[in-house]
Amino acid sequence: MKRFENLQQFINTHFNEQPTSLNVVTGDASFRRYYRLNCKGEHFIVMDSDPNKVNNAPYISLNKVFTEQGFLLPKIIVSDELQGFFILSDLGSTHLADMLGDTNRTEHYKELINLSVKWAKTPASDVMQAYNEDFIKLELDIFSQWLVTGFINESLSVDQKIMWKTSSELLIKAMLAQPIVTVHRDYHSRNIMNNNGQWAIIDYQDAVRGPLCYDLVSLLRDCYFKLPDAELISLLGFAYKEFTDQDLIIDTSFNEFKYYFDLTGLQRHLKAAGIFCRLYLRDGKSGYLDNILPTLNYIIEVAANYSELTALSEWIKNIIVPKVMDKLAKERA
């Protein structure tokens, strides 16, 4: 309550005590809170990002970096960095997620693939972490810690531990073998907006220098929306051509490119499934529980296509998924 009072004071100071209205905007998976503010017919977004819980330095620094590269991002109009209060430009409420039923959906995706090429070419910044072996492994551990141990209380046998170690090493190797570019890390339908016909990007603060295929996986194998297989393959071919034409990949066949795409997707979806469990167990957010099984199904389907990963696919299909289903049923009872 005290924090909200301080937020109101911050708003009143900026708007010279003019009458304003404040409405909660659906939050994201972070500790940040968002509000839509109306003042004399103008709309703004207010972000409450407690510096005791969130490091706001990357948000501020990368806003400047990506804006200077020509991307449309929320403009920081005024901020109180000590308290973690921000007034941002309002980019509307239309996300890519709201446009996935459009008849020209494929064209939307092609435009966003082209935009991801430009994003990938953004020069490195000191704020961007290196998405290195330790970082990738740390993310894989989210799955084992929060889903396997935390959510379903499963213990691994000796053979399963070997399988998990071998699979993880293969995924890490495939990710490190790719060209290193600037990566958004959450380039999906809920973080891409359409503002008067122009694509805008939000939640950019976790950008890193990492594998080329990561953002493409986020976009085309979205945890919140599944593209039909034929459309996905067509768009993957389009991306391969664009990446090749822009010299982001050199002397790489389409099959090699797809291999990198698939294995990068496996790592991302293992991490995501673990994060959905962590959001529930640690943060009390149940809104992501419905996304666990679709995300695990991605892993089962893709891993089954590679002989060295069939054991991973079978383990998740036969051991993990049934126990997740049981746990979900109990939690919803």
79 in helix, strand or coil?
Answer: strand
List the domain boundaries for the chain. 2-89, 96-332
**Which pLDDT value is given to residue 116?**
98
- The DSSP secondary structure of 57-73, one letter per residue, reads HHHHHHHHHHHHTT-B-
With contact defined as beta carbons under 8 Å apart, do 199 and 115 qualify? yes
**Which pLDDT value is given to residue 27?**
61
22 beta partners: 37
Q: In angstroms, how far is the first alpha carbon of the chain from the final one?
A: 32
- CATH number of the domain located at residue range(s) 2-89 in this protein: 3.30.200.20
Superfamily grouping for domain 96-332:
Aminoglycoside phosphotransferase (APH), C-terminal lobe (3.90.1200.10)
H or E element at residue 236? helix 229-245
* Cα distance between residue 107 and residue 276, in whole Å: 30
SS3 annotation, 155-218? CCCHHHHHHHHHHHHHHHHHHHCCCEEEECCCCCCCCEEEECCEEEECCCCCCEEEECCHHHHH
Show the tokens assigned to 105: 């959906």
Exposure string for 195-222, b = 16+ CB within 10 A, e = fewer: eeeebbbbbbbebbbbbbbbbbbbbbbb
**Which pLDDT value is given to residue 28?**
61
Nearest to 206 by CA among 46, 18, 56: 56
**Which pLDDT value is given to residue 1?**
74
Show the tokens assigned to 189: 């339908």
Q: How much is the pTM?
A: 0.94
**Which pLDDT value is given to residue 19?**
66
Contacts of 182 (CB under 8 A, 6+ apart): 119, 120, 121, 122, 123, 124, 128, 207, 208, 209
* Cα distance between residue 166 and residue 179, in whole Å: 23
Mean pLDDT in runs of 10 for the chain (333 residues)? 89 81 75 89 92 94 97 96 95 96 96 98 96 97 98 97 98 98 97 96 96 98 96 98 97 97 98 97 93 98 98 98 97 85
φ, ψ of residue 304 to 5 degrees: the values are -65, -20
